[in-house]
Every structure is written in structure tokens, then in C-alpha cells.
Amino acid sequence: MNVMTPTREQREAKLEGMGCKRKRVEDVRFTQGKGQYVDDVKLPGMLHGDFVRSPYPHARIKSINTEKALAVKGVLAVITAETLKTVNLAWMPTLAGDVQMVLADGKVLFQNQEVAFVVATDRYAADDGIAAVEVDYEPLPVQVDPFTSMAEDAPVLREDLEGKMVGAHGPRKHHNHIFEWTVGDRELTDAAFAKADVTIKEMISYHRTHPSPLETCQCVCSFDKIKGELTIWGTFQAPHVIRTVVALIAKIPEHKIHVIAPDIGGGFGNKVGAYPGYICAAVATIVTGKPVKWVEDRMENLTTTSFARDYHMTTEIAATKEGKVTGLRVHVLADHGAFDACADPSKWPAGFFNIVTGSYDFPVAHLSVDGVYTNKAPGGVAYRCSFRVTEAAYCIERGMDILAQKLNMDPAELRLKNFVKAEQFPYHSALGWEYDSGDYHTAMHQAMEKIDYAGLRREQTEKREAFKRGETREIMGIGVSFFTEIVGAGPSKNCDILGIAMFDSCEIRLHPTGAGIARVGSKSQGQGHETTWAQIIATEIGIPADDIMVEEGNTDTAPYGLGTYGSRSTPVAGAAIAMAARKIKAKAQMIAAYLLEVHEGDLEWDIDGFRVKGLPEKYKSMKDICWAAYNSVPPGMEPGLEAVSYYDPPNMTYPFGAYFCVMDIDVDTGVYKVRRFYALDDCGTRINPMIIEGQVHGGLTEAFAIAMGQEIRYDDSGNVMGGSFMDFFLPTAVETPHWETDFTVTPSPHHPIGAKGVGESPNVGGVPAFSNAVNDAFSFLGSTHIQMPHDYWRNWEAAKALGVTG
């Protein structure tokens, strides 16, 4: 018999640990249509709920008559604000410290707002019921423009706040004002501007858009009257937070609430918040005693849940004539719609927007943000955004390009001149962050070389000459973007949600035969956690990733976690996974020492087990140790092999990247072609390069959509214009450009495995690269800044305004 001993490489490969392009294990079920989504939950006697919605963006509700609706066959109940008031649920708290109507209470504040909830035996009957509900509206003046929201004669939107001059985040200046948030040193910044050689000032808008995941928001609520227990299946990015919120507002003991987030068909931030549908379905199941399902349709999703952006950023940069930046001043007008329903950590009314100094060594900076109410849907901080970092990155990256143009400098050169240097890390930014690690110069040089930046600029110069000579109608743009992300919310010292610190968690349980289960407080919506979490464990404790099952999303079994958003899973839950694995490894080492009859200190770790130092044949694999954990542990030790870790990160992680976009635009039609898009990402230690590439492809596609056409626009009367995929640009394979990806690796010094997040980076860095490409194309014609989205029509309008087309 010839027993082949596997080589080190074979043993390592078998683990499929960190660094391996392991195939996504969840895709086995997803690609065969075997995923289990909320809509797959079908319970006996289940009812369906659906909303009566307001056609008016601002109106008083004079009366609601439900009589005819209740007569419709199949309709069992019609819930209104009056019904909800009997259980004190007509309004609900938002994550941003505001309150929000669950169902219209006296008036409506945005088009399609929820007015009544019709519960019926099936969805069709519910819709017939909706048609029969009679609502008498008295239209009120509409406030759409955030810039006039604080005008003296602006209509009072939030009557519930009238007279309240202090809100959740301090004083309010006006009846439509929500908060003012300021960071930085105003005096020093003003002084820097006073003595600057060169300054720029531009109002840079980041328009309103929407994450629009394939699966809309939905839930099934089932109340067991005998046990007094409420079970909620829902599309939740943060299931435990939902459980706590329900316990607090519905006054049901938290152990009697079971929240289950099954497979999720994309979240992108849309599934962080709490929506009226969840509350109404929960109330409906308690009232009727039957399970109630609520499933949003596409229009409802686009027009009512969780918009993104709508930030209007007046940006000023001060610099020396050599192009060294000396100060940054930004004022943001933040349009929050009817309710401030942003999902930020509690103390951050504008998220982490104060990362707006970006990758540059600004000695001083000042930021102020004014949040205002308008007659638009609530939401905010969603859509692959890391809590307003997308807006911040767009603001500074556009600003740097505008400065380069004014200085007549190359935008890449201006960036290289102002980057925080590798030796400055950990770097303290002027607006209060401590960047953990970075090497911006190396990344930028690598990127410029790979795309032949100098060659592209030469080509552009030639094309511009040819355009001026009338030989071509095409203009070429090179978009440069270098972003610094801030992900991993967050350290308990500055991050909480409703008072709960933003740690994350992992529980690992190894079975006797050397396989196991890991339960994690995060919740994948497509990011591939089942694949990558097992890879961390494989490397840490030498059990093949295939032998570790990863489970998330059930609050009864998973340890308390704060969920998945803000690319926090790798920085926080990923760290908890490594720490739990290390606890297991420490116990395993004691067991191995006992089995091998040596002192623990005499053992060394070797890929998948422990070896006695100097005696390589004396070895116990993790598989052997798992078995031993259940029958021969050292005297006094408890049997079993499991561990749990709750990880409170000491700092955020700061991934970064260099993105370049090359675009050609026909000035007569506005039609653009993305010729090249190159993305270099540095997310520290890479767990699964293939998943990272997938995340980058997806995020870039979203960035492309946002920069080049996607928009939730409102007309002057408050009608929402982006309510369906007829009007809302969702790129398909046909429009999507080819992506070139690249990387550098600068590990995080404080993360147990050195990993930083990556999920949101491509959206953060991608949008400025596209927009800078368009702006760069037009710049030689005298243009300074063209607002997004840069669709064909707007490109043509820009060309027309610049006098180069008719």
C-alpha cells in the first residue's frame, strides 16, 4: 500500500483559506432558483397587505372612508393612522432621531406616502380594497427645492415639530430645518483662505438616486396569540436591530420576537431602515391572528423607500500657486425629504461626510451641513455609500479637478502633490479621523503606468487640436479619481445605533468529526459571506472551508450583531470571526499538548494542526483535536470546542483606490462611449480575490448608472419622475462598460487579519471617475463643472451651452 503524504501546498490548497479564489458556495442554490427569499415564505391562512398611497405630495387629509373597501370580497381589515393610534404606533422613531408617520396622520408629506393598509385574503383582493378606500385630500403648497426650503414663506411641512426649536441634533433655525452639523476649525480655515494664492468655489450637487435591489423590501409577520410570540421574516440587513426596535416600540418582550432574514436579493442599503410596511404587517397579524405578508412592488420601492444622496455641496479649496492645498471649506445642503430617516450611527447626522478631506493632506478644514425637510420621500444614507462617503468623495474629487483646471495643472499631478504620504500614517485628518494605513503614491503610480496615463493625455491633446480644426466632433475625457473610504462602523467610542454599540459577533462550534458551524451577526445580501467567512476560519484553524457552514440572519441562533452595511462586515464581523477562531485554536492547542504529552509552548502551528517543535512526526491535526475535544480533554477542562467573540473595533478601516475612466463624447448627440475603466483597489488583506472582483464589478456598474443617468427627480409640483424602470436607468449588460481591475495590499494595522472593507469602494470612487471624465472632456471648451447625471441629453445641452453644437 502506497500512502502518499500530501505536500504542504496540497494541505494548504485543501483548506481554501484566505487568498483563495474559492467559488461562491451560495451560488449553488442561487443559480438553480433554490434560494429561499421572503416571498417564498407561505404560511397556512396567510393574508396579504397593501397600501393606499397618496397621489399628492402635500395635502391635508380631511377624511378616510373605509366602508366600501371593507365590503370588498376578501378584504378583512383596513388599518389607518386612527387604528394605529390605539396601539400607539401611528408614528415610529427613525434611526436618525426623528419620528416618521407609519400611516398618514392628518396630512401627507410626499407623493405615494402610505395612507391606509388594506389586509385581504390575497393580493388581488387587497388591491380591489385599495381602489375602494375613499380619501378626501385638500392639496397644500408643495416644497420641492431644498434651496428655498428655509425661505421665510416656505410652507410648514412638519406640523408635529412646529415650535420645536431643538431637534435630535441640536438647534433648528427654521420650521423646515432639521439640524446643523459643523466640524473643523472655522477661524483657521478662514485665515487659510484669506492668504491663499488661489481659491476655487463651486456648488457641486450629488442628485437623488435609489439603490433599487432586484428584490424589493418585504416581510411576513406571524403572531402566535397562545405563546405571545411574533415571528418576522423580512428583507433585513440588520435583523437584530429590527428585533430590538420592535421590542421597544411594540412593547413585546425581546425574547418573544423572532426575526429571520432569509436569502436576500440585493440590499445596497435599501434594507437597513424600518418601513411602514413592517409595522403595518405586524399590527395586522396581531389584529387578525393570521400571518400577514407585505411585498413592495417596484414603483413603491423606487418612490417611497430609502432614497440615496440629494446632497448639494458648496465646495471651496484654497491652495498655493504651486498647487499645495492649504484649506478646505464645504457647506452641504442636505435634502432629507419629509422625515429624517437616514440610517447613520446615532451621533452622525451627516454620516462620515467629514472624510471629505479625502486622500489629501489638508492642514485645515471646515464643514457645515444643514439638513432640511422637503415634500419628498424619506431615507438617505443608502446605496453602497458608507454613510455619505460617496458624496464626500465626489465633492473632493470634483473639487480637486476644478482646482487643477484653475492652476492649469494635470489633475493626477495635483493629487500626487497633495497625497497623505505613506510615512504619515496613522494620519490625523483636519476633520477628526485617524486613517489607519495607506500608500497612496504607490497605488497612483501603479495605476498611471498600467493605463499609460501620459500616452492618454498626449492622445487627448491631439484630439483637442483636431476638434478645434473641425476634423472631429468627438471630445475625449480622462477621469481621475483617488478615493479614501472609511468603513467598519464602528468603535463603541463613537458609534452606536439607538444606543447599541456597533460591535459584531461570531460563534463557532466544531463538531466531533472535524466539521463545524459559524454563526455571524452580519447578514449577506449577495456579498458571499457564506463563502468568505469560512475562508477566514479555514486559515485560522486549519479546517477546510468546505467543512464550515456559515449561518446568518436568524436572531434566535446568531449572536447579536449590528448587521451588514457600510462595508462593515469584514472590518467588524470579519475580525470577530478571526478572534473566535483564535479562541478555538488556543483551546485546541491545550488539547493537542495533552494528547502529545508535551507542554503547550512546545507546539507550533502548521497549516492544519499542531506539531511538536523539533519533532515533526509528532503531530495532531485539527480534525484529530476536534474528536479529542469530545472524549479526551485534559483533566479539569470542559469538553467541546466552541467559542464566541464580540468584537469592538479600535478604529475604522480606510480602504482606498485609484480609478481612471476614458470616455469619448459626440458633441452633436451627447452620446458617450466609455472606452476604458481601470480600478485599482486596496482593501488590505484580501480574503477572496474573486469575490472582491465581483464586488468591484457590481459597484462600478452602479457608479456608472448613477453618474451617467440614474436619477429620482421631482417636478415642480412634487411628482416623482423616476418611479419605474422606464424612467429610472438600470444598466444591463448592453450598456455596461468593460472593467479592468487591479490592486495593492496595505493591511490594516489594527484588524486581526489586516483586512479592510471593499463592498462600497467602487461606488464611492467610481462616480467621481465618470463625472470627472465628462467634465474633463468639456473643460478645454471653457467649462468648469457640469452637474450629474451625465446622460446623452445633458451632454448635448452642455455642448450647446458651450457653443459647440446647435
**CA 279, CA 99: separation in Å to the nearest integer?**
14
What are φ and ψ of residue 742, in 5° steps? -155, 175
Q: Which of 237, 405, 535, 710 is catalytic?
A: 237
Only one residue has cell 429571520, namely 260
Q: Which of 221, 385, 506, 626 is catalytic?
A: 385
Q: Which of 323, 757, 765, 768 binds ligand MCN (CB under 6 A)?
A: 757
DSSP 255: G
794 assigned to active site:
no
- Choice between 81 and 755, CB closer to ligand CUM: 755
- Piece of 116-124, 216-224, 324-332, 558-566 that binds ligand MCN (CB under 6 A): 558-566
Q: How many CA atoms lie within 13 A of 341 on its CB side?
A: 29
| Residue 781, C-alpha cell as written in the block | 471648451
Minimum distance from CB of 3 to ligand CUM (Å)?
Answer: 50
Minimum distance from CB of 687 to ligand MCN (Å)?
Answer: 3
- Choice between 697 and 800, CB closer to ligand CUM: 697
User: What angle separates helix 389-407 from helix 761-779, to the nearest 10 degrees?
Assistant: 30
Query: Rule CB under 6 A: is residue 684 a binding residue for ligand MCN?
Result: yes
- Piece of 193-201, 261-269, 778-786, 798-806 that binds ligand MCN (CB under 6 A): 261-269
Q: Report how many residues bind ligand MCN under the rule CB under 6 A.
A: 35
Question: Which element (helix H / strand E) includes 26?
Answer: none
Q: How far is CA 749 from the centre of its chain?
A: 24
Query: Rule CB under 6 A: is residue 429 a binding residue for ligand MCN?
Result: no
Q: Which of 167, 269, 371, 411 binds ligand CUM (CB under 6 A)?
A: 269
| Residue 532 contact, options ligand MCN, ligand CUM, none, Cβ 5-8 Å cut-off depending on partner type | ligand MCN
| Residue 528 contact, options ligand CUM, ligand MCN, none, Cβ 5-8 Å cut-off depending on partner type | ligand MCN
Judging by DSSP bridges, how do beta strands 434-435 and 427-428 pair with one another? antiparallel
* Nearest alpha carbon to residue 198 among 357, 314, 323: 323
Query: Rule CB under 6 A: is residue 467 a binding residue for ligand CUM?
Result: no
Query: Rule CB under 6 A: is residue 520 a binding residue for ligand MCN?
Result: no
Measured from each CB, the residue nearest to ligand CUM is: 269
760 assigned to active site:
yes
| Residue 527 contact, options ligand MCN, ligand CUM, none, Cβ 5-8 Å cut-off depending on partner type | ligand MCN
Query: Which string of x and - marks every residue 370-409 that binds ligand CUM (by CB under 6 A)?
Result: -----------xxxxx------------------------
| Residue 317 contact, options ligand CUM, ligand MCN, none, Cβ 5-8 Å cut-off depending on partner type | none
Minimum distance from CB of 479 to ligand CUM (Å)?
Answer: 23
| Residue 662 contact, options ligand CUM, ligand MCN, none, Cβ 5-8 Å cut-off depending on partner type | none
| Residue 53, C-alpha cell as written in the block | 398611497
683 assigned to active site:
no
| Residue 757 contact, options ligand MCN, ligand CUM, none, Cβ 5-8 Å cut-off depending on partner type | ligand MCN
| Residue 563 contact, options ligand CUM, ligand MCN, none, Cβ 5-8 Å cut-off depending on partner type | none
Q: Which of 323, 358, 526, 752 binds ligand MCN (CB under 6 A)?
A: 526
At 547 the three-state DSSP class reads helix
**CA 653, CA 760: separation in Å to the nearest integer?**
13
* Nearest alpha carbon to residue 108 among 142, 132, 82, 84: 142
| Residue 272 contact, options ligand CUM, ligand MCN, none, Cβ 5-8 Å cut-off depending on partner type | ligand CUM
Minimum distance from CB of 757 to ligand CUM (Å)?
Answer: 10
Query: Rule CB under 6 A: is residue 268 a binding residue for ligand MCN?
Result: yes
Minimum distance from CB of 601 to ligand MCN (Å)?
Answer: 32
Q: Which of 24, 53, 309, 384 is catalytic?
A: 384
Angle at 675 between CA 408 and CA 455, to 5 degrees: 45
**CA 180, CA 187: separation in Å to the nearest integer?**
18
* Nearest alpha carbon to residue 312 among 371, 374, 379: 371
Beta-carbon contacts of residue 450 (< 8 Å; ≥ 6 apart): 678, 680, 740, 742
Pick out residues in 357-396 that bind ligand MCN (CB under 6 A).
384
Query: Rule CB under 6 A: is residue 691 a binding residue for ligand MCN?
Result: yes
- Choice between 279 and 537, CB closer to ligand MCN: 537
Query: Which string of x and - marks every residue 209-248 that binds ligand MCN (by CB under 6 A)?
Result: ----x-----------------------------------
- Choice between 373 and 565, CB closer to ligand CUM: 565
Minimum distance from CB of 268 to ligand CUM (Å)?
Answer: 6
Query: Which string of x and - marks every residue 546-585 that binds ligand CUM (by CB under 6 A)?
Result: -------------------xx-------------------
237 assigned to active site:
yes
| Residue 266 contact, options ligand CUM, ligand MCN, none, Cβ 5-8 Å cut-off depending on partner type | ligand MCN
Angle at 227 between CA 221 and CA 230, to 5 degrees: 20
| Residue 381 contact, options ligand CUM, ligand MCN, none, Cβ 5-8 Å cut-off depending on partner type | ligand CUM
Asked if residue 47 lies in contact with residue 293, where contact means CB atoms within 8 angstroms, the answer is yes
Minimum distance from CB of 318 to ligand CUM (Å)?
Answer: 31
CA 586 to each of CA 490, 644, 781, 800, 804: distance values in angstroms, whole numbers, following the listed order: 27, 13, 66, 69, 71
Burial of residue 472 (CB within 10 Å: 0-12, 13-18, 19+) is middle
Beta-carbon contacts of residue 175 (< 8 Å; ≥ 6 apart): 154, 156, 157, 158, 161, 162
**CA 39, CA 219: separation in Å to the nearest integer?**
8
Query: Rule CB under 6 A: is residue 687 a binding residue for ligand MCN?
Result: yes
Q: 156-165: long-range contacts (C-beta < 8 A, 24 or more apart)? A: 157/58, 157/109, 157/338, 157/373, 157/374, 157/375, 158/109, 158/338, 158/373, 159/106, 159/107, 160/91, 160/99
- Choice between 384 and 785, CB closer to ligand MCN: 384
Beta-carbon contacts of residue 31 (< 8 Å; ≥ 6 apart): none
Phi-psi region of 525 (alpha: psi -120 to 50; beta: other; left: phi over 0): alpha
**CA 279, CA 588: separation in Å to the nearest integer?**
46
Say which amino acid occupies 264.
I
**DSSP code per residue over 430-476:** TTS-EE----HHHHHHHHHHHTTHHHHHHHHHHHHHHHHTTS-SEEE
Query: Rule CB under 6 A: is residue 301 a binding residue for ligand CUM?
Result: no
| Residue 758 contact, options ligand MCN, ligand CUM, none, Cβ 5-8 Å cut-off depending on partner type | ligand MCN
Query: Rule CB under 6 A: is residue 158 a binding residue for ligand CUM?
Result: no
Minimum distance from CB of 683 to ligand MCN (Å)?
Answer: 4
* Nearest alpha carbon to residue 177 among 202, 149, 203: 149
**CA 703, CA 771: separation in Å to the nearest integer?**
10
* Nearest alpha carbon to residue 245 among 84, 94, 90: 94
Query: Rule CB under 6 A: is residue 272 a binding residue for ligand MCN?
Result: no
* Nearest alpha carbon to residue 217 among 205, 206, 204, 232: 232
- Choice between 234 and 411, CB closer to ligand MCN: 234
Pick out residues in 560-599 that bind ligand MCN (CB under 6 A).
564-570
Asked if residue 477 lies in contact with residue 665, where contact means CB atoms within 8 angstroms, the answer is yes
Burial of residue 384 (CB within 10 Å: 0-12, 13-18, 19+) is buried
Query: Which string of x and - marks every residue 228-267 that binds ligand CUM (by CB under 6 A)?
Result: ---------x-----------------------------x
Q: Which of 216, 303, 304, 695 binds ligand MCN (CB under 6 A)?
A: 695
Catalytic residues: 237, 384-385, 760
Residues that bind ligand CUM (CB under 6 A): 237, 267-269, 272, 381-385, 565-566
Residues that bind ligand MCN (CB under 6 A): 213, 266-269, 384, 525-529, 532, 564-570, 683-688, 691-692, 695, 698, 755-760
